[in-house]
Each structure stands twice: as structure tokens, then as C-alpha cells.
């Protein structure tokens, strides 16, 4: 039998996950000595993996291909203005974070009623800025979100509101999440669930990776990310499925 290698110490779960993606456990563990055991007091985790039906994105794309109008022009204009606003903003200043939170809530049907966790958002965006651009940027950013899922409720206790903030910080990585998109995926009951938002981020990226040559509607504006285009399509599709009063 080959000599087993010494198992390294991991500082975080993400670090351990990354290690096992490229290493074989048989080099470190003698599985012939493994014994079956019972854990009678083990309780199910309150947080489990969420799997979204990615075929809903195909349904959305098919639906929008038959539409002549998707979203009002004012919505596009406001988006462009907010993108420019965030690019000029110093997000290491807590007052700027609070101001940005109010800005994204201009799209919301409610006003900010809870204190914005500005210090936590400053720390989170600072760590995002440390990630180098390149092929691993997206994975690193999503890993960071996975490790700090509580950040998705930093603005008004709302995953929807915070997703808008995250999108304007990194528009190529974090898609916007709202009730219409939740309806498109048929998960309306999980609208404010951090795990569902993370699953949504990962599902959108997987879908775009698998379908690099999508035929986007002509009316979508130039200069926006594919992440944003998909969110527009899901938003319009979900909105169309709302029961008419």
C-alpha cells in the first residue's frame, strides 16, 4: 500500500472544497479501515441546497422571442443612470453605502425601513475588489457570497433589495432577483431566502455558459451584460404569469 499523504489543515469550508476538486481522497485516507457509524442525534440542517429548474430560462427565452414589447424605456434609462452612479461611488465609505442603498430602493415599491448594515457591505465590497479580473473572478465572487450569505439581507432585511445593490457593484456576476423572477422559477415562497438567491446566481451562470449563442430580443439595450439580459427576460416572463385582477 502507498504511504498516505498528510491531510492539510483548512481555514474555511470553501478552501477545503477547492482542495478536493483537484485531489483524490485515496491519497490521504485509507478507506479500507472505514467503519459504518450511526448519528442518532444528528438533525437536518436548517440550510440546504436549493436546486432551481433551469428549463424555466429556456421557457422565458422562448416566450420573449414572441413578444413585441418587454419593459418600459424608463426602466432602461434608470438602470443606465444607476450603473454610472455606482462606477463613480467610493464604496469604502459607509455614508455612500447608505446613499447607494436608497438609490437602488428607488426601484422598489417600499421605502427603506430598517438600518442598512453599511459596515458589513463595506467589508464585503472591499473583499470583492481584491479579486483579480479573469476566468476565476466569477467563481471567487460566488464563493465569497456563499461564505457570507447573511450579506444578502444587509439592506432592509431584503434579499431582493440587496441583490440590486450587489448587481450594480458587479453587474457581470450578480443578477438582480425579484418577485417576478421568483415567479418565473415557481419559487415565490422563497423570495427572501439567501440560499435561493445563491442558487439563482449559479443557475444563470451555468445556463449562459451552456448557451453562449443565445438570440436576445432586439429591444434589449446595447452595453448591458448577458446576466442583465437574462434577468430582463425572466422578469418579463414572470410578470406575464401573474394572475390578472
**Number of helical H runs and strand E runs in the chain:** 10, 0
- With beta carbons less than 8 A apart as the criterion, state whether 167 and 175 touch: yes
At residue 96, the pLDDT reads 92
Domain boundaries, the chain: 55-240
At residue 24, the pLDDT reads 79
At residue 115, the pLDDT reads 82
The vertex-81 CA angle with 80 and 85, nearest 5°, equals 120
User: Mean pLDDT over all residues of the chain?
Assistant: 85
At residue 71, the pLDDT reads 67
At residue 46, the pLDDT reads 42
What pTM value is reported for the model? 0.77
Per-residue CA distances from 73 to 69, 78, 220 (Å) = 10, 9, 10
Question: For the chain, which residues score pLDDT lower than 50?
Answer: 42-47
Distance of CA 115 to the CA centre of its chain: 22
Amino acid at each position: 500500500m502507498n504511504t498516505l499523504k498528510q491531510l492539510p489543515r483548512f481555514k474555511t469550508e470553501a478552501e477545503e472544497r477547492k482542495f478536493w476538486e483537484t485531489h483524490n481522497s485515496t491519497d490521504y485516507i485509507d478507506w479500507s479501515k472505514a467503519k459504518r457509524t450511526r448519528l442518532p442525534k444528528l438533525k437536518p440542517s436548517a440550510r440546504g441546497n436549493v436546486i432551481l429548474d433551469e428549463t424555466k430560462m429556456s421557457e422565458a427565452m422562448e416566450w420573449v422571442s414572441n413578444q413585441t414589447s418587454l419593459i418600459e424605456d424608463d426602466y432602461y434609462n434608470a438602470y443606465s443612470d444607476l450603473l454610472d452612479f455606482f462606477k463613480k461611488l467610493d464604496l469604502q465609505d459607509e455614508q455612500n453605502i447608505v446613499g447607494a442603498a436608497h438609490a437602488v430602493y428607488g426601484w422598489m415599491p417600499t421605502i427603506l425601513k430598517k438600518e442598512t448594515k453599511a459596515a458589513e457591505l463595506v467589508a464585503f465590497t472591499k473583499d470583492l475588489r481584491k479579486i483579480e479580473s479573469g476566468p476565476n473572478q466569477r467563481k471567487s465572487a460566488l464563493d465569497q457570497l456563499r461564505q457570507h450569505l447573511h450579506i444578502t439581507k444587509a439592506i432592509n432585511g431584503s434579499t431582493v433589495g440587496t441583490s440590486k445593490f450587489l448587481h450594480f457593484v458587479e453587474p457581470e456576476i450578480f443578477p438582480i432577483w425579484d418577485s417576478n423572477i421568483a415567479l418565473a422559477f415557481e419559487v415565490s415562497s422563497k423570495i427572501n431566502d439567501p440560499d435561493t438567491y445563491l442558487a439563482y446566481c449559479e443557475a444563470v451562470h451555468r445556463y449562459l455558459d451552456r448557451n453562449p449563442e443565445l438570440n436576445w430580443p432586439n429591444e434589449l439595450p446595447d452595453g448591458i451584460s448577458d446576466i442583465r439580459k437574462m434577468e430582463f427576460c425572466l422578469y418579463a416572463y414572470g410578470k406575464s404569469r401573474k394572475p390578472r385582477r
